Amino acid sequence: MKPLLTIALAALLCLPMHAVKVHTIGDSTMSDYNPSATDKRGWGTYLGLFFNPEFVTVNNRGKSGASTRTFYDQPNLWPSVKTQMSAGDYVFIQFAHNDEKSNGLDVLEYNDYLTSHGQPAVTDLRGTCPSTTYRANLIRFIDEVRALGCTPVLVGPICRKYFVDSVTLRRNGLHDLGDKFSKLENGVLQENQKVPADDHSMDYVWQMRQVATETGVPYIDLTTATHDLYLEYGDAYCTAHLFCQGDKTHTAELGAKLIARLAAQLLKDAGILAEYITIPAELPEVSQESRAESQESRAESQEQRAESREPRAFHYRLSTRNMCAVGKGSALRFHNSDNGKTKTPWPADEIDENAVRYIDLAVTAPADSALRITRIAMDLSAVGTATMSCHINTGFGNNFTDVHTFYEKVALPQRTPTPVAITPTHLTVPAGQTLHIRILPWLNDETKPRSGKFIGVSSIRIEGYTDKSK
């Protein structure tokens, strides 16, 4: 009788028999960041603060640079998330920022056009067309979530801080490219196109809402909510307090927490896990548990530095993807390149890393012992620009799994080497496995494509020690 009584009580109280997971998938505006590497924060990091953790936990899998296509295709993203899902879980889906990379064109169709006209294909495969492939990709996620017995929820992408005046955001700030887009029609490329405001063919958010209606999936309008939030606070306050410096897309901690609270309120209003959501009048501080973990990490780091084992430098293999290297002086200069040989202009309006463009440093552990990495160091610089930016990520194996961003720099100083020294506390390479350290650069310029811009890398050193006990 006791199990029956437990079930009956749970039903009466509307409580789940086990903790439900909310898996959040999306782009850099949602993803987690290393607090010691950047002041950038994604709203998905703080969503769990508004749930009762006894019954609901959040697995934030947002990824910088991801679009609906690349998140679905990359083995360490959607296939990995699906292995973490259990029947009864929820999946919150927010994309658009990087789907816009081809000015509203589907990049695969655009590549077919280029090759048919004897031109090289582009290597950035993120771009989708809102009314075709973007919709189709959202439906793929929905179908696969449902097939696993889970509940999909579509979440409108947060706005970009594109103020026209004190009461208006630019149309493309709300992910509607209708003022300027490209299209292929009857085999002809047409650029700088424009449609009226009531034409939603190039509006990613409108298309997401249509998919929600057609598939019967809940839609959370975080786009309108963030639009209203930015206008309420105003451009000056948003710039100073809610967003990262010089950034109109990514939020700092206060902005991310405010958006997470908005998302929680919208979920509660929609009756989605509403009984487990609490919306406090004041924004919550970082939990005591997180502080304790941070203090523990610092203590462990200090303990490691006190160890008697002398770290040594490891050899690494350097390779690139969609970049070309030019040797000059003491630093290698790396330029954007679609074919790895000839220079390609850096794209306009890149907001963060492109997962298929990087400088890769690979370190392989011996077959009989692990490697404990204690320090990664190098000098970085920008040449020909003051807007070159980069992430430094680590991941394992050919599929680049277990990805962590250890360093971010927006706007590297021109021709002035910036020393980078990363001292990870928990970075161990298992015996026989390969660690990849990737520098992923982008040009933080929203105006037009730029040529003649380089990122310089020099004085690379990777240190640590072998550990046969691992």
Report which of 68, 217, 186 is spatially closest to residue 137, judged by C-alpha positions.
68
Mean per-residue pLDDT over the chain, rounded: 88
Report which of 32, 116, 128, 122 is spatially closest to residue 73, judged by C-alpha positions.
128
Handedness of CA 381, 387, 388, 389 (dihedral sign): positive
pLDDT in tens, 46-99: 999 999 999 999 999 999 999 999 999 999 999 999 999 999 999 999 999 999
Query: For residues 449 and 191, what is the distance between their CA atoms, to the nearest angstrom?
Result: 15
Kindly report the number of other CB atoms within 10 A of residue 299's CB atom: 11
pLDDT confidence band for 310 (50 / 70 / 90): low
Report which of 334, 328, 324 is spatially closest to residue 443, judged by C-alpha positions.
334
Query: For residues 124 and 65, what is the distance between their CA atoms, to the nearest angstrom?
Result: 11
Phi-psi region at 132: left, alpha or beta (left = phi > 0; alpha = psi -120 to 50) = alpha
| CA angle centred on 328, ends 456 and 409, rounded to 5° | 5
pLDDT confidence band for 469 (50 / 70 / 90): low
- The yes-or-no verdict on residue 1 having pLDDT over 80 is no
Percent of the chain with pLDDT over 70: 89
pLDDT in tens, 154-194: 999 999 999 998 889 999 999 999 999 999 999 999 999 99
What is the CA 249 to chain-centroid distance, rounded?
Answer: 12
pLDDT in tens, 248-294: 999 999 999 999 999 999 999 999 999 999 998 777 664 333 333 33
What residue ranges define each of the domains in the chain, with the CATH number in brackets?
14-291 (3.40.50.1110), 312-467 (2.60.120)
Instruction: Supply the pLDDT for residue 329.
Output: 56
Task: For residue 453, give both structure tokens.
Answer: 């811009």
pLDDT confidence band for 236 (50 / 70 / 90): very high
pLDDT confidence band for 351 (50 / 70 / 90): confident
* Long-range contact pairs involving 136-144 (C-beta distance under 8 Å, separation at least 24): 137/68, 137/69, 137/72, 137/95, 138/68, 138/93, 138/95, 138/208, 138/211, 139/211, 139/215, 140/72, 141/25, 141/68, 141/72, 141/78, 141/91, 141/93, 142/93, 142/211, 142/215, 142/217, 144/82
Query: For residues 254 and 256, what is the distance between their CA atoms, to the nearest angstrom?
Result: 5
Query: For residues 314 and 466, what is the distance between their CA atoms, to the nearest angstrom?
Result: 10
| Arithmetic mean of pLDDT, 363-388 | 90
Instruction: Supply the pLDDT for residue 298.
Output: 35
DSSP character at residue 239: I
| CA angle centred on 432, ends 430 and 437, rounded to 5° | 65
